[in-house]
Structures are given as structure tokens and as C-alpha cells.
Copies of this chain bind each other. A is one copy, B any other.
Amino acid sequence: MTQGLRPYGELRDRVRNNMAPLFSEQIELHGHIIDSLILPKVLDEILTGGGTFRHDASFACIDVFGNSPGQVDDIVRRLRQHGAEVVERKPASLAEAPADGVFPDEFYVTSNQPTFVQVGDQWIEAQPVTMDCGIAVDLELKQAQTVKFFQVRKGMKIAVGHHGIRVTPVQRSTDRKSVFEFMASNVSSEKPKSAVIREIAAEIRRARKEGGKILVVSGPAVVHTGAGEHFEKLIEWGYVNLLFAGNALATHDIEQALFGTSLGVYLEGGALADEGHENHMRAINAIRAAGGIREAVAKGGLTKGIMYQCVKHKVDFVLAGSIRDDGPLPEVITDVIEAQKAMRARLPGVTIALMMGTMLHSIAVGNLLPAQVKTICVDINPSVVTKLADRGSFQAIGLVTDIEPFLRELTQFIAASETSG
């Protein structure tokens, strides 16, 4: 596959530079080729087949009609999420927040795409890119900030309506040097995955080389399926910069480290020895007695496992609480809004996110990530993968597979490329 990928850039450059010799044919398409999605599919086929085409960045000017001004307004507001601009431009309207934690009526709701606000005759980007926020504008500093409900203070100037706001969706490059741009959708359970996992390994290596932070979001299935040892290797080798998880992952990992079981099941013995919840509860108790995970490591009580490796290799982690939690462990942030803040504070610099075996945490983190962060979602449940990978971006891929063999193969590819350079 990697060989198959190389020609694109070259071909494209040759076409751009009118270099010879190239093989070509001219084709024609007729009919509703745009709204029937035929033209995009055709261009897709050309790139997928290893070819390229002559094209220019496009421009379209469209007249939108409706039965009432309100309807046209509604349509245009939604079109903005796709980058549409109204031709007649005016500055964004601003209104004051009526109370702490409350937006003014008709506040503009952000997407996960880069968004700009027109203040005077200037376009200012709202920072950080986050969906489901309002935009607070500081007219003096000429700054725009995406704000969550809890950040709203009475009197803040908030963008309302949809005029003077421009969205620039992350677009697909035609270079296609990345596995993310190849995958139109998910890799189903019926597809071969080795080649895709090799590409993911390459992406993760590239992210590290380029200094991007690698975020892992993980559920307890990583421990249940026996994938913990592979995850530990990723940490040891420096491929995890940040871990977002819950009480369950940490507890099952520590139960495994202390007692050799996960939810009472001996990982060595398969489904054979079901101890019930006892070890689980004792693992929590042991860490509570020590005062926390870091303290348990410091005191020598916790000497292996994912959480141990995180402490040892100084990997920053956020453990967010849920109402299913037993315990919880002292590090768990039991207030969910505080947990969101803690996660959001650590996102700057993240360029790639690997989400494994957790719908709750993956969706929560997905809601915090800007569209340009590359996202890989792995789950054996196809509906989780569909939900997560379908974020309307060219930066997310989903794999329907078992987590243990996925991580085993991923670490093997990374190890191989480490030694080969």
C-alpha cells in the first residue's frame, strides 16, 4: 500500500508543472452530477486508482430561494457550517449575556471547524476551536473566544444571528499522503485491517516526530481483552502523551496489577475464574489507603500496569467520573464539568487521538476536539465506531475490531519501524 501511495504527490506535481510523459484520457459527465454526488465519486475513483486530474480550487455562487425570509435565514445559517458566505457582508451582531451562565437569545452555536467573526472590518478567529460553544467577543482586544455555558459572565458580548460569521471547513487535500484521507468511512469487521493498522502506526510515528501530542482515550476493555501489555509498551516507547479515561480503566488495570484479575477474571485463564467484584473493590481500597495512584507508585505498592507506566513515564492523565463508578480512586474527578475543564485544558498541541473501547469517553472527548485533530476510533461494536467516525470530517477513521489484536499489531508495526528507522 505504501508504495501505492507514493505516486500521488509526484503525479500531481507533474500535472501542475505540465511535465511529460504522462498518460491521460479525457472523460465527460452529464446530468445532475453534483447534487447526485456523481462528480465527487468520480474524482474519488481517480485518486483511489492511483491517478490524478487537472482541477482548480473551485468557486460557486448560488442563489438560495425560500418561501419566507425566515426560511432563507434558517437555510443560510446551516450552510455556514459548510463554509458558505452570504455575498452581502456585514459585521457580526453582538448581544450582552443576560446573566452568568446564560447566553443571549439567538446566540451563534459553534461547530468543530475554524470559525471567524467579523468585528469592524476585521475577521477574528474564535479560539479555541470547540463545538457547541458561544463566541464571546472582546471589542477592545479584538479577540474572540469560544465559551461554554459555565464560562459566560453577565454582560459579555456574545455573537448572535449568523451575519458576520465565517466557517472554513477542514478540506481534504488531494495529496492523499495520509490514511485519514483515504478512508471515506469506516473499516468494517469484514475488511482486512493489517494494512490500515500499518498506516495508523506510521501516522502515530509521524505525529511524534513532528512534535504533536498523542492523546489516548481508553475504556476498560483495553484491560479486559488483555491488551494492557501492548498499551504499556506504547507508553514506555513514548507514544502516549496524554491519557483520558475513567475510574473503570484505572481500577481494572490496578486490579490486574495487584491481583492478576480483571473484573474477577484471570487474564491468564480466560473466562475460567470469575471472582466477582471483590478484587475490584479491594484494588480501589488499596489505592485509597495509599492516598492515590501516584502515592501507591511512590510507596512501591503499585509496580506494573498502565497507570504505573503513566506515573513512571510522566504521562499526564485525566480520570473523569461516571455514575457507574465504584470508589472512586482518589485521582478521579467526580464533577463532570470539572472533568471537562481538565480535559479541555490539556488539548492544545494534540494532533492525533486514539480512542479505544469507550463510547462515553470517546463522544465526550470528540465533542471537545477541533476538526483538524486526526481521530482513530477502535471498537468491536460497529454502532460505536459509526457514531464516532461520522464527524463530518476527513480526519476520522473507525475500525471495527477486537482491541487486543489491534493494539498487538499496532505495537508490532511501531516496533518494526523503530528498528528499521
Contacts and interface: CB of A to CB of B under 8 A. Distances in A.
A324 B360 CA distance: 7
A191 B322 contact: no
Interface stretch (A21-29, A121-129, A298-306): A21-29
Interface in A1-39: 1, 4, 7, 11, 14-15, 22-39
A39 B321 CA distance: 39
B23 A72 contact: yes
Contacts of A325: 336-337
A149 interface: yes
Given A1-B270, A40-B40, A84 B31 contact: no
B192 A63 contact: no
Interface in A64-101: 64-69, 71-72, 74-79, 81-88, 98-99, 101
Contacts of A364: 322-324
Nearest to A247: B336
A173 B23 CA distance: 36
A37 B40 contact: yes
A274 B107 CA distance: 18
A268 to B, nearest CB: 6
Contacts of A334: 335-338
Interface in A367-421: 367, 380-383, 394, 400-402, 404-405, 408-409
B174 A35 contact: yes
Contacts of A74: 49
Contacts of A280: 132
A339 interface: yes
Interface residues of A, number: 159
Interface in A271-298: 271-278, 280-282, 284-285, 288-289
Interface in A313-330: 320-328
A360 B225 contact: no
A183 B35 contact: no
B149 A327 contact: yes
Contacts of A196: 270-271
B192 A226 contact: yes
Given A32-B57, A60-B28, A84 B42 contact: yes
B383 A23 contact: no
B84 A28 contact: yes
Contacts of A51: 64-67, 71-72, 75
A242 interface: no
Contacts of A285: 102-103, 105, 107, 149
A309 B93 CA distance: 37
Contact of A190 (B27, B40, B224): B224
B172 A32 contact: yes
Given A31-B58, A58-B33, A336-B323, A182 B272 contact: yes
A267 B36 contact: no
A78 to B, nearest CB: 5
Contacts of A275: 78
A241 interface: no
A323 B322 contact: yes
Contact of A194 (B65, B169, B224, B404): B404
Contact of A54 (B1, B63, B269, B405): B63
A141 B147 CA distance: 54
B34 A34 contact: yes
A187 interface: yes
7 contacts: A29-B62, A38-B82, A195-B272, A323-B340, A324-B360, A382-B383, A402-B402
